[in-house]
C-alpha cells in the first residue's frame, strides 16, 4: 500500500501556500525536478536547476515566492522551501521501525530499567543500572554497557556500541557502527614505554543529536566529553576525550577533533577538517573542508587552509617553488635593497 496525500494537506503540514488551492492531485512521493512524475512533488532551492524547474512534470514544486512564476506546475510557496522539503519528505519516510517490547534474545541486566514503550531488538545487550526511557528504539546487536541513560524517543540503529556511564538525551539518532564512550587516548611516558591513563570521565550527549555511522566519541579523562543539544555529526567523525561541542553545531564526515578542544555553538565544520587539541573555537565559525585548525578562533567567520588540486605536473612545479620560497624571499629582499625601495613604494 503506497501512502498518498492531498496537495492541500501537504501545504498545511509544511506551512506553504498552495497556489492553485483547488488542485485535488494525490501525491505518492518525492522526486527530483527532472524525474518527478504527475503524482510526485519536488523542491527548488538551487538556481543551478532553473531549467529543470521550467521543464518539470511534478505534481507540484516547493519553492520561494521569487520563482513561483517560473514554475510550470502547481506551486507550494514558502520562505524556506528546503525546510518544507524536510517536513514533506517525512511523510514518505519508510525507515523500518522496531516492534514495541523486548526481543526474547535481548540480554538485559535485571537492574536495568526499560520503559514499557521502549523497543529493544534482537541480540541487544544492556548492562547494569541502565535506564532506557519511553519510545526509545535500540536496534539489533547494540551493546550497551553499565550505567547508561538513553532519553525519550532516541533511536540507536543496529550495532551501536555504548560504553559505561554515557548519557544520551531525548530524540537522538545514532547510526550503525558508532562507538560512544571508548577510552580517550591518554598515556604517560615512562622511560620510553607508555603507561595507560584510565579514562575516568564519561560522555554527555544532549537532545536532538544525530551521530553518523562509524563515528567515535571518546569518554573524558577526568570529566565528561560533551555534545550539546542539536549537534549533528556525520559519518566517521572522531571526537577525542574532553572535547565540548556547542549546541546546534554541524560537522561533516571525517572530521577529527583532538582532546580538550571546545567548539562553539552554531559552527559548521567541513568534511575531513582537523582541529587540534586544547583550543577554543567561538560560536558561528565555519571551517572549510580539509582544513587544519591549529589555534583558537575568537572571531566568527570562515576559515580555510584547503588547497584545490591541480594537474599533477603543474602542481609538482608549484611544490618545488614552495620548497624554495626561502630563497625567493631572500632574492626579493636583496632586489628591494638594491633599488632602495621603501615601504611606500611597496604598497603602491
Nearest residue to 181 via CA among 208, 211, 157, 151: 211
Half-sphere exposure of 118 (CA within 13 A, CB side): 29
* Least gap, CB of 53 to its own copies (angstroms): 15
Q: Is 241 a catalytic residue?
A: yes
Point out the catalytic residue in the list 103, 141, 241, 321: 241
Query: Mapping DSSP to helix (H, G, I), strand (E, B) and coil, where does residue 9 land?
Result: helix
CA angle 228, 234, 240 (to 5 degrees): 60
Site string for its own copies, 197-236 (x = CB under 8 A): xx-x-------x-x-xxx-x-x--xxx------x-x-xxx
Candidate segments 4-12, 65-73, 112-120, 270-278, binder of its own copies by CB under 8 A: 270-278
Counting contacts by CB under 8 A, is residue 1 touching its own copies? no
Counting contacts by CB under 8 A, is residue 5 touching its own copies? no
Cβ proximity to its own copies, 41 vs 67, nearer residue: 41
Question: How many residues touch its own copies (CB under 8 A)?
Answer: 141
Cβ proximity to its own copies, 68 vs 232, nearer residue: 232
Counting contacts by CB under 8 A, is residue 154 touching its own copies? no
Burial letters 88-104, b for 16+ CB under 10 A, else e: beebbeeeeebeeebbe
Query: Could you give the C-alpha distances from 184 to 34, 111, 201, 213, 303, in angstroms and in order?
Result: 48, 28, 9, 19, 27
Written as nine digits, the cell of 19 is 497556489
Counting contacts by CB under 8 A, is residue 240 touching its own copies? yes
- Single residue of 39, 266, 279, 280 touching its own copies by CB under 8 A: 266
End-to-end CA distance of the chain: 73
Counting contacts by CB under 8 A, is residue 145 touching its own copies? yes
- Single residue of 3, 12, 54, 327 touching its own copies by CB under 8 A: 327
- Single residue of 23, 131, 146, 280 touching its own copies by CB under 8 A: 146
Counting contacts by CB under 8 A, is residue 24 touching its own copies? no
Counting contacts by CB under 8 A, is residue 49 touching its own copies? no
* Cβ-contact 278, 241 below 8 angstroms: no
CA dist., res. 106 & res. 211, Å (int): 23
Active centre residues (catalytic): 241
Amino acid at each position: 500500500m503506497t501512502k498518498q496525500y492531498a496537495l492541500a494537506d501537504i501545504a498545511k503540514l509544511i506551512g506553504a501556500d498552495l497556489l492553485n488551492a483547488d488542485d485535488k492531485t494525490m501525491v505518492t512521493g518525492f522526486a527530483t525536478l527532472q524525474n518527478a512524475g504527475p503524482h510526485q512533488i519536488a523542491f527548488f532551492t538551487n538556481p543551478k536547476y532553473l531549467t529543470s524547474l521550467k521543464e518539470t512534470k511534478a505534481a507540484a514544486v516547493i519553492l520561494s515566492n521569487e520563482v513561483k512564476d517560473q514554475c510550470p506546475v502547481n506551486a507550494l510557496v514558502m520562505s524556506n522551501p528546503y525546510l518544507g522539503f524536510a517536513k514533506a519528505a517525512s511523510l514518505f519516510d519508510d525507515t523500518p521501525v522496531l516492534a514495541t517490547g523486548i526481543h526474547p534474545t535481548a540480554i538485559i541486566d535485571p537492574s536495568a530499567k526499560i520503559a514499557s514503550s521502549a523497543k529493544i531488538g534482537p541480540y541487544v545487550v544492556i548492562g547494569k543500572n541502565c535506564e532506557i526511557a519511553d519510545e526509545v528504539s535500540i536496534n539489533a546487536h547494540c551493546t550497551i554497557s553499565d550505567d547508561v541513560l538513553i532519553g525519550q524517543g532516541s533511536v540507536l540503529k543496529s550495532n551501536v556500541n555504548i560504553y559505561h556511564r554515557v548519557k544520551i538525551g531525548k530524540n537522538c539518532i545514532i547510526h550503525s557502527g558508532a562507538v560512544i564512550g571508548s577510552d580517550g587516548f591518554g598515556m604517560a611516558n615512562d622511560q620510553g614505554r607508555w603507561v595507560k591513563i584510565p579514562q575516568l570521565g564519561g560522555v554527555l550527549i544532549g537532545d536532538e543529536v544525530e551521530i553518523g555511522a562509524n563515528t567515535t566519541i571518546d569518554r573524558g579523562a577526568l570529566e565528561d566529553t560533551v555534545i550539546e543539544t542539536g549537534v549533528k555529526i556525520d559519518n566517521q567523525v572522531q571526537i577525542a576525550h574532553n572535547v565540548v561541542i556547542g549546541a546546534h553545531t554541524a560537522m561533516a564526515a571525517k572530521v577529527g577533533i583532538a582532546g580538550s578542544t571546545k567548539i562553539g555553538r552554531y559552527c559548521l565544520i567541513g568534511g575531513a577538517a582537523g582541529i587540534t587539541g586544547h583550543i577554543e573555537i567561538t560560536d558561528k565559525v565555519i571551517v572549510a573542508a580539509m582544513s587544519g585548525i591549529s589555534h583558537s578562533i575568537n572571531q566568527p567567520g570562515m576559515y580555510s587552509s584547503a588547497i584545490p588540486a591541480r594537474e599533477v605536473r603543474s602542481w609538482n612545479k608549484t611544490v618545488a617553488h614552495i620548497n624554495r620560497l626561502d630563497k625567493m624571499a631572500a632574492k626579493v629582499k636583496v632586489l628591494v635593497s638594491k633599488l632602495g625601495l621603501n615601504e611606500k613604494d611597496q604598497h603602491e
